[in-house]
A = this chain, B = another copy of it.
Amino acid sequence: MNYRAIFTKALEDLRSERRYRVFVDLERDVERFPYARRYRQDGTTEDIVIWCSNDYLCMGCHPEVIGAMQDAATRYGAGAGGTRNISGTSHPLVALEAELADLHGKERALVFTSGWISNLAALGTIGGLMPDCLVLSDQYNHNSMIEGIKRSGAQRQIFRHNDLAHLEELLQLAGDRPKLIAFESLYSMHGDIAPIGKIAALARRYNAMTYMDEVHAVGLYGPRGGGIAERDGVMGEIDVIEGTLAKGFGTLGGYITGDASIIDAVRSYAPSFIFTTALPPAVAAAATKAVRLLKDGANWRAQHQRQAMLTKHALSAAGLPVMSNPSHIVPVLVGDAERCKAASDMLLDRHGIYIQPINYPTVERGTERLRITPTPLHTDAHVAALVDAMVDVWKTLKLPFDYVENVVEFRREPSKGHCTFADFKKAAE
């Protein structure tokens, strides 16, 4: 048996389908975000502009967040030293969980080392503990949710994306058995938003539990950054809200919040939680600082939305096929894996603009896209340079323009000039 040949063949398969990923080796620079240093394969470097970070609000670069990490490292060290049960429950982690429960108005929160694991652990446990449970899962749910549902052993039915009628049909058919509706508030590759209140109303009518992933919304939406559910005034109607510390909150880790009994059951039963070293106190302290800052971060969120809307407007006005949605995500359709990769490569090599290609299986074939994520620190000048670069790439590669439809509206206000963390501070005061 030549084992190496098996793996070599598996990699060739990916290459032939244009799905082989090459990671871009980057050094972010907190003083100059969105600029970063890119290390080429030959060891040379160049400056590039990041346009695809999920550190949506740049909180990973915020001096107070970094300061909290450093201060906690000075006092408590670089790691947790064990699983939660074996000396790894640090006081900063306990404080973070209290902060997150407060953010979502829930009894309790539980932190994991990643959002992926939160979904695996929580859905795996909740679905597993409910006898004869039926999980109703949105068609576009994230991989981690699907893995969690499968891990639970519960029956799974998929409802069409954000389709209330289909969901209701499945709820009716299910009858009296325990039911769990699993969905996201904001779907990251499409940028569209779930009708949370209406899903919660269906859940009440048919006596189903609700589990909602808010990872692309926490910190970014709602008066205190509680997410879309907070913005829509329906946080209290969702049983379990899952979030991340690694996007809007700029650090690492995932979490769930909900009733004490549900959260305690996940804490007590999920092997992926029990047998994992806890998040370092320094990471927990940094995350707590980011959550606290964003509870007062309305102006920072507004600046984020402004730059996202400006980007959509400017790209669409130039005829680039921006895929319409009501969120901060700016997907631009290419529709072919190879050309999507080529567009991404040309943006990077010719224009120093980094936007990774989004291909199958992350999105459906034929809907390959560039996914752009403006931040509050992308200036109007950055946006203008992005538009020029993308128009050049679209023309060079003969990609289709879209001159007629969907120019995104944008009400230009007098420019406030370059946004910095000092503005964040001013806004919060």
Interface stretch (choices A25-33, A192-200, A218-226, A295-303): A25-33
- Quick check: A91 and B26 within 8 Å, CB to CB? yes
Which residues in window 135-191 of A have CB below 8 A to B? 142-144, 147, 176, 178-179
- For the complex, is A379 an interface residue (Cβ under 8 Å from B)? no
- For the complex, is A310 an interface residue (Cβ under 8 Å from B)? no
Kindly state the separation between the CA atoms of A8 and B107 in the bound complex, as whole angstroms. 14
- For the complex, is A250 an interface residue (Cβ under 8 Å from B)? yes
- With A86-B356, A252-B80 known as contacts, the answer to whether A91 contacts B27 (CB < 8 A) is yes
Provide the A244-259 mask, 1 if CB < 8 A to any CB of B, else 0: 1011001110000001
Interface stretch (choices A53-61, A321-329, A381-389, A399-407): A53-61
CB contacts (< 8 Å) of A26 on chain B: these are 87, 89-91
- For the complex, is A227 an interface residue (Cβ under 8 Å from B)? no
CB contacts (< 8 Å) of A286 on chain B: these are 78-79
- Quick check: A86 and B52 within 8 Å, CB to CB? yes
- For the complex, is A202 an interface residue (Cβ under 8 Å from B)? no
Kindly state the separation between the CA atoms of A144 and B117 in the bound complex, as whole angstroms. 12
Pick from B60, B61, B74, B80: contact of A246, CB under 8 Å: B80
CB distance from A368 to the nearest CB of B (A): 14
- For the complex, is A76 an interface residue (Cβ under 8 Å from B)? yes
- With A53-B87, A113-B252, A178-B3 known as contacts, the answer to whether A74 contacts B82 (CB < 8 A) is no
Which residues in window 110-152 of A have CB below 8 A to B? 113-117, 120, 129-131, 142-144, 147
Which residues in window 354-372 of A have CB below 8 A to B? 354, 356
- With A23-B89, A60-B77, A87-B24 known as contacts, the answer to whether A129 contacts B10 (CB < 8 A) is yes
- With A87-B354, A89-B23, A356-B85 known as contacts, the answer to whether A78 contacts B54 (CB < 8 A) is no
Q: Which of A1, A147, A274, A277 has the most CB of B within 10 A?
A: A277
- Quick check: A6 and B82 within 8 Å, CB to CB? no
- For the complex, is A283 an interface residue (Cβ under 8 Å from B)? yes
- With A7-B129, A11-B261, A77-B61 known as contacts, the answer to whether A144 contacts B82 (CB < 8 A) is no
- For the complex, is A319 an interface residue (Cβ under 8 Å from B)? no
- Quick check: A116 and B69 within 8 Å, CB to CB? no
- For the complex, is A209 an interface residue (Cβ under 8 Å from B)? yes
CB distance from A183 to the nearest CB of B (A): 17
Kindly report which residue of chain B lies nearest to residue A269, judged by CB atoms.
B10
- With A69-B282, A86-B52, A272-B147 known as contacts, the answer to whether A78 contacts B91 (CB < 8 A) is no
Kindly state the separation between the CA atoms of A8 and B264 in the bound complex, as whole angstroms. 9
- Quick check: A7 and B265 within 8 Å, CB to CB? yes
Which residues in window 50-102 of A have CB below 8 A to B? 50, 52-55, 59-62, 65-66, 69-70, 73-91, 94
CB distance from A23 to the nearest CB of B (A): 4
Q: Which of A3, A30, A272 has the most CB of B within 10 A?
A: A3
Kindly state the separation between the CA atoms of A76 and B272 in the bound complex, as whole angstroms. 29
- With A76-B28, A81-B28, A356-B85 known as contacts, the answer to whether A39 contacts B280 (CB < 8 A) is no
CB contacts (< 8 Å) of A73 on chain B: these are 66, 69-70, 73
CB distance from A211 to the nearest CB of B (A): 11
Kindly report which residue of chain B lies nearest to residue A126, judged by CB atoms.
B7
What would be 11 A-B contacts, judged by CB atoms less than 8 Å apart?
A3-B239, A6-B129, A7-B261, A23-B85, A25-B91, A26-B91, A28-B81, A60-B81, A78-B250, A78-B290, A244-B277
